[in-house]
A = this chain, B = another copy of it.
Amino acid sequence: MGSITGDWRLKAARGKKIQQESIPKQWILAPERLPPTSQLCVIDVPKESGLLSEKELIITESTATSLVDKMASGTWTAEEVTIAFLKRATLGQQLLNFATEFLAEEAIARAKELDRIFHETGKIVGPLHGVPVSVKEHIGIKGRVCNAGYVSWMDYISPDDAVVVQLLQKAGGIVIVRTNEPQSLMAWLESDNNITGRTLNPHNRNLTPGGSSGGEGASMGFKCACLGVGSDIGGSIRGPAAFNGVYGLRPTAHRLPLVGLRAAGMGQDFIHGVVGPLGHSVEDLELFMKSLLDQCPWKEDMSLVPVPWRTAGPPATASLTVGIMKDNGLVHPHPPITRALELAEKKLIAAGVRVVEWKPYQYQESSDLTAQFYFADGGKAQRSALADEPLLPQTTLALAMGSPGGLDVSTSWDLNYQKEVIRAMHHAEWQRAGVDFVLSPAYVGVAPEHGTAQYFFYTALWNVLEQPAVVFPTGLQVDAKIDVADASYQPRSELDAREYAKYSPEKFDKVPISLQLAGKRWHDEELLAGAKVVQGIIAR
């Protein structure tokens, strides 16, 4: 673990200082105007606090699609939109600690520039004109520290904006705030680190907003920004989206550029990390993808596939086949998830969708592969970056997943080939069953209590299989009266028992319930078009 000297604390404090000094002072509420720390749900605080005007509440509760419409028609200015979100984000920061750094001045300056251009030309600069965006910290911003959750990386200054940020900005998006992530980024679904500390869930501050894009999850859940940019190698976009009751997409790899992101173990190529959007509707995820891919980023970054965004029309309900996997056969979902899936099934059938049971296929094998791949180097890349600071408990748990000492290349090749075979067999099974999408839990439960999020394989399956997957709210919330623990429950394994023991209805009462829909590799367009229909039916 390396030597722990006083030094890491100084470096970490620098990160905390950047965070604190960047918070727009003019909108910080005095402690007495905030709810007591004992108040768990803070979702209604923006309305109650008096910080935001009625108009600002309407602005911050809009989707990106409607924001852009309003700015294109001259109804709202980019400046007032940006300020409204910055105010809400400042409040969010006081309540949730979701940000690592605000970019308020730059954001307002850019908003004014957009307003000037709009005023002069009568036109918006691009499809994301004036949309306030939050961006996960390890996605670099020019001239700013990019620490990826490691104290030892506090000296690294990004020489350029990450390409995904450049594309976003060219489309008119405005980065207003950078968001928190866990120490090591890898393999834990929460967001706590030695620099900026722990982020809380706006629906219940005893719960985690997820990770590793947990700052993004909280940002979207509290509506601190209109769109968010996260990254996902095992569920790091989808977990946070699910836990906060918002939308998140893990796109097919090699569609969006990774240049300018920082993480340990960058040469790991067995399971591809991706960047992707979080937002407040499927349409917004689509808007994000289209706005970026319409700029043909593959012309500059040849590691991307030259596949333009094809806007897919909504599939006819009667032509749809949805496979439903209620349980992966290894770890029982908690009662609220099962209830949501059963209700979804009924509604889909009633709407005329063909629904088939999707049996977990090679789940154990895929699960085993994942654990081996993430830390195939024996966690060396992580341990090296973590050498100077104490490990948080969940980092220790995550690092325990890998084989001590790591694999040799020969073994890693064998596993990599097995992975390819599993992908191909899974696709064949998918074709055989004739399913368009597979609906499943996004996680074993709803947002877990701090320090307890561990089992990420409901999302990681699609990373191993290299398929796109989207998470969305069902419109349902946990109901402590209905969602009682299943008396007939029998644990399948220690793992299963451990995960089921984390459930008790009262702890999660009124927390949103989300589900996950996966599509075919490369078919991100069809997945989003299908998700609009499927979510439309489920949340109806």
Give this chain's copy count. Answer: 2
Contact of A303 among B259, B300, B307, B423 (CB under 8 A): B423
When the two chains form their complex, are residues B269 and A269 in contact, meaning their CB atoms are under 8 A apart? yes
CA distance A409 to B378 in the complex (A): 8
A268 proximity list for chain B (CB < 8 A): 413, 416
Q: Which of B259, B306, B377, B417 contacts A409 (CB 8 A)?
A: B377
B contact residues around A521 at 8 Å (CB): 302
Scoring A residues 387 to 412 as 1 if CB is less than 8 Å from chain B, else 0, what string do you get? 00000000000000000001111101
Hey, what's the 0/1 contact readout for A302-335 against B, CB within 8 Å counting as 1? 1101110000000000000000000000000000
Cα of A303 to Cα of B428 in the assembled complex, Å: 13
A298-B522 CB under 8 A given contacts A259-B424, A267-B413: yes
Asked if A496 is an interface residue, CB under 8 A from chain B, the answer is no
Give complex CA distance A409, B375 in Å: 9
Query: B residues within 8 A CB of A266?
Result: 413, 417, 420
A305 nearest in chain B by CB position:
B305
Residues of B within 8 A of A305 (CB): 305, 307, 522
A10 lies within 8 A of chain B by Cβ: no
Assembled-state Cα–Cα distance A376/B413 (Å): 10
Q: Encode contact with B along A503-523: 1 for CB under 8 Å, 0 otherwise.
A: 000000000000000001110
Q: Which residues of B contact A380 (CB under 8 A)?
A: 410
Q: Is B410 touching A302 in the complex (CB atoms < 8 A)? A: no
| B-chain residues with CB within 8 Å of residue A300 when the two chains form the complex | 431
Separation of A303 and B420 alpha carbons in the complex (Å): 8
Q: Is the CB of A413 within 8 A of B302?
A: no
A409 and B382 alpha carbons, distance in the complex (Å): 13
For A306, list chain B residues within 8 Å (CB): 307, 522
- Chain B residues with CB under 8 Å of A265's CB are 413
Q: Are B303 and A417 in contact, with the CB atoms below 8 A?
A: no
- Please report which residues of chain A, range 160-175, place their CB below 8 angstroms from some CB of chain B when the two chains form the complex: none
A181 at the interface (CB under 8 A from B): no
Closest 10 CB pairs of A and B: A267-B413, A267-B416, A267-B417, A377-B410, A302-B521, A380-B410, A376-B409, A377-B409, A266-B417, A305-B305
20 pairs from A and B in contact (CB 8 Å cutoff): A259-B424, A266-B413, A267-B419, A268-B413, A269-B269, A269-B270, A269-B413, A298-B522, A302-B427, A303-B420, A305-B307, A376-B409, A377-B408, A380-B410, A381-B410, A406-B408, A406-B409, A407-B408, A408-B408, A408-B409
